[in-house]
Amino acid sequence: MQQSLRHLQLYDKARIVGISASGELGRRIRDMGLVTGTEIEIVGRAPLKDPVAVRLRGFTLTLRNNEADHITVEKLESTT
């Protein structure tokens, strides 16, 4: 099922299937390694639920929810 990264729950794993951001935001997202096909895991949310912390390629980065909206993901079955 495809959904926006915003709607993933803590510790959900997913694969990126599309990124709709262009311009500076798009570039920043790509520079940090968020490209189609990348597997990600939600590892935390800030105390006010926003931003979200995402683990990918062996490191952690943070995204605001309105930035996460531009990223479409496909949820992977939890391996736990």
| Interacting residues with another protein (CB under 8 A) | 18-19, 22-38, 41, 43-44, 46-51, 53, 57-64, 67
Residues in the chain: 80
Token representation of residue 22: 């262009």
Q: Between residues 1 and 58, which has the closer beta carbon with respect to another protein?
A: 58
Whole-number minimum distance, CB 10 to another protein, in Å? 11
> How near is the Cβ of 45 to another protein at its closest, in Å?
8
Report the C-alpha gap between 28 and 44 in whole angstroms.
Answer: 20
Q: How far is the CB of 8 from another protein (least distance, A)?
A: 16
What distance in Å separates the CA atoms of residue 32 and residue 76, rounded to the nearest whole number? Answer: 21
